[in-house]
Structure 1
Amino acid sequence: MLISESNKQNGATDKQKKVAELFESRVSVVAADISLDRLGVDDETYNMLQLETDIIIHSAAQVNLVYPYEALKSANVRGTLNMIELAHNSTKIKPLHFISSRAVFPPRPGSTHEEDTPLDDIATGHTEGYGQSKWVSEKLLELAQKRGLPAVVYRPGFIGGDCDECYWNPQDTNLAIFQAITATGFVPRHNWALEVTRVDFVAKFVTKCLQDIKFSSGKRFNMVQPKPLDSKALYQFMENYGFKLERVSIQEWIDKIQNSEKLKPPLKSLLKEMNSNESLFPLERTKFSVKQTSEAIRYFEVQGYPPIDTGYLRKFFSKQIERNILTSPPLLTAEIDKFSTYKVVKARNIKMQSL
């Protein structure tokens, strides 16, 4: 949503321009590096942050489901420790809202992870470094809470686009899967579930918690879609939308992706690596309780957990196709071409009649 000065008049919508203006008038940007001691800023800037900051929302992290723990330790673990030190300052203690991840839980197919499960009970079994880094970060925060730091933990799963414009993270795994499917026309025969939570819902939920620290302090919220969409229902929607899909085994699907000339190498590598450790389409899904999240939703009197319904899917596909992020379905493309040809022929006939 945020755009640079040079792009304000270059294809930006009125809404984008307004957000950019509000951002520039209300947000002060400090260039820093959370992995460095005292955030890598000079003493004057760090002292200013200690004194003038009232609340900290710590969402910065290096997200990579392939890298080992050591490669992520500096940004994710040291970064969290530095934010704890900034928050737990003797001059002014600041509530810390930590955006963690469902990856803090090790995969345990068939079981349900509760929000208040002791961290020591889930200390082992992680299959990737990212989850390990999130576990260590939460453990550091837990120790800080015992020393008096007010803090809240949010554990989102896969975050998708908002309900209006449906902008997605271009590096999102789910988006990569959709790019592969729409480009090749092949889908995994294996049954899996699409787990997505809208980013606007996450932002609104966190904002409500910011405004009532007495209620939210000390809580851990699993923000994982409680009703993921079954792949069979997803495929049915896509076929009704105009896509022609052929079911193949997971390995055949990976091979089709690797041989596709329509997909970029980084995307091919991402899906291949994730499939190699069985994190892309697990044989049995790990479940997550959202009891505390649901209680908070009722307490704040906000709209319930947004489902992955046909309206959201329709908006998602139309917006991503419009932006050339996803390949248009062949049936829809044929209709567009047919309509365009009809308009050209009709225009020519009108011109000939006028002569």
Structure 2
Amino acid sequence: MASTIPTEVAEEFAADVVLADDITGFPAPAPETVSDVFLTGATGFLGAFLLRDLLREGLVVHCLVRGADAGVARQRLTDNLRTYELLDGLDAVDLDRVHVYTGDVTKPRLGLPEDVYAELAGRVGAVYHSAAKVNFLTLYKWLRKSTVESTHGILRFACAARAALHHVSTTGVFEPRRDLPARGELDPTGPGEALSLGYTRSKWVAEQLVLEASRRGVPVTVHRPGQVWGDSRTGACQPNDFVWRFIKGAIQIGRYPRRFRLEMNMVPVDYVSAVIVTASRHPEGLGGIYHQVSPGTLKSEEILRLLRGAGYELEEVSILKWMKAVAADVTNSMAPLLSILVESEKVEVAEFSDEVTRGLLEGSGVSCPDIDEKAFGGYIEYFVRHGVLPAPGADGASGADKD
């Protein structure tokens, strides 16, 4: 797993890329011998689908969940699974093989009592770390504890358990520049000071720690998803995703910004989860770096076409007129994020390669679904079912009177 920590990083996090001395290597257990696994982030979006797919593998999954007590923690997990429609139908999660532990990745020993920590470490053979505090408005220093310090804690637990670590990072660790070739799995990331968001900086630092642990012999695998969108089959999606807030904001005012520069690599959550689990169970998958990305990017013009195809009537207006209409409505989904919207037009869009990942998946039956009219329609139907979006043609679906 080739990677080097840059010699010059921003003073803000220069000391944070230093891995603690007590994190040392050990032999990895063979994936086929692992029956119990540990999962963080199960009350998040990707984590819910990881839980489903790990259970599909016949594994017993031990989940770390914040809560006042075990009952509250388990209810948080159940509520999250219900939100993403993972408790019924073909996707129903078997809760009999799910064990919930009240804890916190930011605390010593993950917030677990010493005896529970030791007992759990003696059972699990793999650790899946998907917990993350995703906030594009927050400075690095406010994410340091939840993202960087917690990575030390997760690595220490993996060492105590002598378990392989599967770490979820992001393609955001690459400098966002279009004038470079498509970034592959083994290409250098950062540098950290070139990343504009506190969130991506914190994820870059965390990844440096994981890669240093790998060099010391800790069996770790790194996964870098693009912008994670909904399940390509059920439509289950997270409403607070930046692009969906942009879409909802446009529907709320019945207008769409003309020639708006929005371009992102969107990838369905079911594909991201399938790659992570498949790689973790593959005899040759351990120790690699994998990209979960779509073959192409989703541009603003394509989003408008898909919205109109779904039945929403949206008038194209100038970006300034659109922003003025959003700002005039404090309830608009995009009102708090207008500053990010302005900055997003200035950011170059990096391109990504996933040649290594596709090579590993060959013959597995796992491939990235297209975000086409059918998949997009499924997302719309899901949000309408859950009251996030008005149905196309319904009152409130075409915005206020045009001026």
Short-chain TM bin:
0.7 to 0.9
- 1:136 paired with 2:202, answer no
- CA spacing shift, 1:18–1:103, aligned 2, 3 Å: same
Query: 8 Å contact 2:257–2:319 — kept in the other structure?
Result: yes
CA RMSD across the alignment: 2.9
SS in 2 for 1:16: coil
> What are the equivalent positions in structure 2 for 1:22-101 lying under 5 Å apart?
22-89=93-160, 92-101=161-170
Distance 1:94 1:72 in 2: 26
- 1:257 paired with 2:323, answer no
Distance 1:223 1:294 in 2: 9
Residue 18 (structure 2) aligns with: none
Identity over aligned pairs, percent: 25
Q: 1:307 aligns with which of 370, 374, 377?
A: 370
- CA spacing shift, 1:13–1:150, aligned 2, 3 Å: closer
> What are the equivalent positions in structure 2 for 1:1-355 lying under 5 Å apart?
16-17=87-88, 22-89=93-160, 92-111=161-180, 112-119=182-189, 122-189=191-258, 190-212=260-282, 214-260=283-329, 263=332, 267-269=334-336, 271-276=337-342, 278-279=343-344, 281-282=345-346, 284-298=348-362, 300-330=363-393
Normalised to the residue count of structure 2, the TM-score between the two structures is 0.72
* Residue identity in the other structure for 1:326: L
Residue 43 (structure 2) aligns with: none
Distance 2:113 2:140 in 1: 29
Distance 1:148 1:200 in 2: 31
Distance 1:13 1:64 in 2: 21
- CA spacing shift, 1:240–1:333, aligned 2, 3 Å: farther
Residue 345 (structure 1) aligns with: none
* Residue identity in the other structure for 2:320: Q
Structure with greater helix share of residues: 1
Query: 8 Å contact 1:102–1:157 — kept in the other structure?
Result: yes
User: 1:4 offset after TM fit, Å?
Assistant: 5.0
Runs of 4+ aligned structure 1 residues displaced above 6 Å come to 11-15, 18-21
Query: 8 Å contact 2:312–2:392 — kept in the other structure?
Result: yes
User: 1:327 offset after TM fit, Å?
Assistant: 2.6
Distance 2:290 2:84 in 1: 35
Query: 8 Å contact 2:176–2:350 — kept in the other structure?
Result: yes
* Residue identity in the other structure for 2:368: Y
SS in 2 for 1:30: strand
- CA spacing shift, 1:12–1:81, aligned 2, 3 Å: closer
- CA spacing shift, 1:320–1:24, aligned 2, 3 Å: same
Between Structure 1 and Structure 2, how many residues are aligned? Answer: 320
Distance 1:303 1:291 in 2: 14
Query: 1:107-159: CA deviations, max 9, x gaps?
Result: 2133332221134x633301011111111111111111111111111111211
Distance 1:233 1:18 in 2: 32
SS in 1 for 2:324: helix
Distance 2:261 2:103 in 1: 44
Query: 8 Å contact 1:68–1:130 — kept in the other structure?
Result: yes
- CA spacing shift, 1:323–1:103, aligned 2, 3 Å: same
Q: Please tell me whether Structure 1 or Structure 2 has the larger radius of gyration of its CA atoms.
A: 1
Distance 2:369 2:155 in 1: 32
Query: 8 Å contact 1:182–1:329 — kept in the other structure?
Result: no
* Residue identity in the other structure for 1:39: L
- CA spacing shift, 1:263–1:94, aligned 2, 3 Å: same
User: 1:75 offset after TM fit, Å?
Assistant: 0.6
User: 1:306 offset after TM fit, Å?
Assistant: 1.2
- CA spacing shift, 1:106–1:99, aligned 2, 3 Å: same
- CA spacing shift, 1:14–1:247, aligned 2, 3 Å: closer
Distance 2:366 2:159 in 1: 34
Instruction: Give 5+ residue unaligned stretches, structure 2.
Output: 1-47, 53-73, 397-403
Distance 1:253 1:68 in 2: 28
